[in-house]
A and B are shown apart, each in its own frame.
Chain A
Amino acid sequence: MSDTTTAVVEKASEPLFSSKNRKLVVDPLDDNNPITVQVLGICSALAVTTQVEPALVMSLCVVAVMAVSNLTVSLIRNIMPGRIRMIIQLLVIATLVTVVDQLLKAFVYDLSKELSVFIGLIITNCIVMGRLEAFAMANKPWPSFLDGIGNGLGYGAILILVAAIRELFGFGTLLGWKLLTPDTAIGGFLADIGYVNNGIMTTSAAAMFIIGVLIWIQRGRNTKLVDIS
């Protein structure tokens, strides 16, 4: 985890969106992606990606939790005793996740039932804790906030990509829109020539394969990510 730490030089007057700060948001989308490069948060990436809608909501929740928890921990980082910092970080995350969980239950009850335990499990999502330890504990609030958003977005991007592939080929729909089901024009034509949905795509194994192939493609394109150790 230590290699992901980006020490931001603390200057008195730095513009809000300086190139360094922009890098904090953009980097986790590709070169420092939490899922495909740091290989964190795989558990929920396998579980909630059967369809796009839950994946989208899950990503939003993680972005919110990460941004706010990074901000909070960064604010109190200097008054926090080192020996109990883990417990305090966990407390912050748990509080935020409970808030998010209650909000979902209040406003989108069906989705919250579908996501069930995985919202609660954001607490144990390695990405959140990892960024708190690796970044927020050593940086000022604003960069920490951006880092939280960046990593949440990087996580969400992979989640949504995987979910889109799985939903399209497993169910023939995308975000609930019927694209390849037999009652549409394209789907009807495909059904006539014998197309059927792929059963593997509805199982978690498919997410494993897709994430594996994504990692393969990314490292094939960008050889500096290849770890030869």
Chain B
Amino acid sequence: MKFLRNFLETIEPKMAGNKYLHTIYDGFATFLFAPNSTTSEGVHIRDGIDLKRTMVTVVMALQLCLLFGMFNIGHQHYTAYGLYPGLGEAIFTKLAYGFLQLLPIIIVAHVVGLGIEFFFAAKKGHPIEEGFLVTGMLIPLIVPPDIPLWMLAIAVAFAVIIGKEAFGGTGMNIVNVALTARVFLFFAYPTEISGDTCWVAYDYNILHNIFGMGAATLQELGQTVVPDGGMKKLLVDSFSGATPLALAAKGGWSAVADQFTLQSLFVGDIPGSVGETSKIAVIIGALMLIVTGIASWRIMLSMIVGAAFMGFFINMFGGYLSTEVFGFATANPFFAVPWYYHLIMGSFLFAMAFMATDPVTAAQTMQGKLIYGFLIGCVGIIVRVLNPAFPEGWMLAILFMNVFAPLIDHWVYSKNIKRRLARANG
């Protein structure tokens, strides 16, 4: 540690001359060591933790999701070709494949996002704001594993510039930046991020080319050359790549149960976005956030209640309403999926733990958080079940409620003011 500090001190004067270089220097130096500058005016300390440590705690809580996500990319890739179908087989090969698939995504998200962040910080003469540490970690976890990198770069640039910098940078944004990137991808390039074929990485990546593992894989498949039409020709027949939600939308819970066991839904060896498949990893991350006090348990709890309530309501009345009241010929099979399965399908838990609880875009008041979470739960299930164009609803539900969060807070404030005025006057 000593030499690192000495190194920083020696290069400091060189960096001080240029505003762009100094911004970068300052960002890294305060990231590595706690700055020794103190507030010159009045201080309002509620907790000794600063924004960088807060962000790093969230990043740590995400690591298990990331690790399992890497493994699962490899697992899905090999399973698609009928190789190593057991969860415990060839763990390191799968991890290596997933790592090499995910690394470029992580690098692109960080280089583009941090680059823009550094540029705006230098331009405005601010120190670098830390918000992107978490966003940069979240974005790779919420995209499909083989998303084209240039699309990712455009989406990240859009999210950081329009979603954040236009509003004034970290802490000022109205909508969640990571979800803004995803929603951009979803509407700009829908074929790459929806449907049944995008959730599994089918292609060879650098691993196969450098280490010759492609040849070994082909031998195991009984092939010597990749056929015309690429690797997808070699897929085993039983593999569809459909996510549980896509299956549920077509055939209800029985279609999901045909393909996946409850255990695999929970452990997460299923196709899906990189980080959300493993419910165990997400729950451990969520507990870390609750224990450290970074994320609000109120939002998480009320979101579960909201989703359960709306799921239950649709179980009870969905079929009746759609056939008797609105006059559709048959009820959507999704209506009959029991409400408790909604909680472990798709990205509900991931969105709850890491997206809805974003301290900047969520409601700030205690009551406001309860209302905010509950409404996200309701809206998310409505989008997921009722709208066939969107198999999953949390991205849209959270962005929607992000916009309403200030309104909810305003209502809570003015209710409180009215109550106290009445008490004072009465």
Binding site for B on A (CB under 8 A): 194-196, 198-201, 203, 205, 209, 212-213, 216
Contacts and interface: CB of A to CB of B under 8 A. Distances in A.
Given A200-B188, A201-B188, A212-B162, 20 more contacts: A194-B148, A194-B150, A195-B150, A196-B189, A196-B191, A198-B154, A198-B188, A198-B189, A199-B187, A199-B188, A199-B189, A199-B190, A200-B184, A200-B187, A203-B187, A205-B187, A209-B162, A212-B166, A213-B162, A216-B166
Contacts of B190: 199
Contacts of A203: 187
Contacts of A198: 154, 188-189
B149 to A, nearest CB: 9
Contacts of A209: 162
Interface of B: 148, 150, 154, 162, 166, 184, 187-191
A209 B183 CA distance: 14
Contacts of A201: 188
Among B162, B166, B184, B188, max chain A CB count under 10 A is at B188
A36 to B, nearest CB: 15
Nearest to B166: A216
Contacts of A196: 189, 191
A190 to B, nearest CB: 10
A106 B389 CA distance: 41
A116 B148 CA distance: 38
Contacts of B166: 212, 216
Contacts of B191: 196
Contacts of B189: 196, 198-199
A194 B189 CA distance: 12
A63 to B, nearest CB: 31
Contacts of B188: 198-201
A203 B187 CA distance: 9
A196 B191 CA distance: 10
A196 B188 CA distance: 9
A165 B162 CA distance: 17
A47 B131 CA distance: 35
A128 B391 CA distance: 45
Nearest to A195: B150
A201 B150 CA distance: 17
B358 to A, nearest CB: 22
A133 B4 CA distance: 68
A66 B154 CA distance: 39
5 contacts: A195-B150, A196-B189, A199-B189, A199-B190, A205-B187
Contacts of B148: 194
A203 B150 CA distance: 21
The 8 closest A-B pairs by CB, nearest first: A200-B188, A198-B188, A199-B188, A200-B187, A194-B148, A199-B187, A209-B162, A199-B190
A198 B158 CA distance: 13
A205 B189 CA distance: 15
Nearest to B123: A220
Contacts of B187: 199-200, 203, 205
Nearest to A169: B188
A216 B191 CA distance: 32
A209 B157 CA distance: 13
Nearest to A196: B189
Nearest to A209: B162
A199 B189 CA distance: 6
Contacts of A212: 162, 166
Nearest to B191: A196
B252 to A, nearest CB: 30
Contacts of A205: 187
A202 to B, nearest CB: 10
B376 to A, nearest CB: 22
Among B150, B166, B187, B190, max chain A CB count under 10 A is at B187
A145 B108 CA distance: 53
A90 B188 CA distance: 41
B243 to A, nearest CB: 21
Nearest to B161: A213
A218 B422 CA distance: 49
A216 B166 CA distance: 8
A66 B190 CA distance: 41
A130 to B, nearest CB: 27
Contacts of B150: 194-195
Nearest to B158: A209
A69 B166 CA distance: 38
Contacts of B162: 209, 212-213
A203 B188 CA distance: 10
A195 B162 CA distance: 23
A194 B154 CA distance: 14
A198 B191 CA distance: 11
Nearest to A216: B166
Among A194, A199, A212, max chain B CB count under 10 A is at A199
A207 B154 CA distance: 17
B163 to A, nearest CB: 11
A133 B166 CA distance: 34
A205 B148 CA distance: 23
A203 B154 CA distance: 17
Nearest to A193: B150
Contacts of A194: 148, 150
B418 to A, nearest CB: 30
Nearest to B162: A209
Contacts of A216: 166
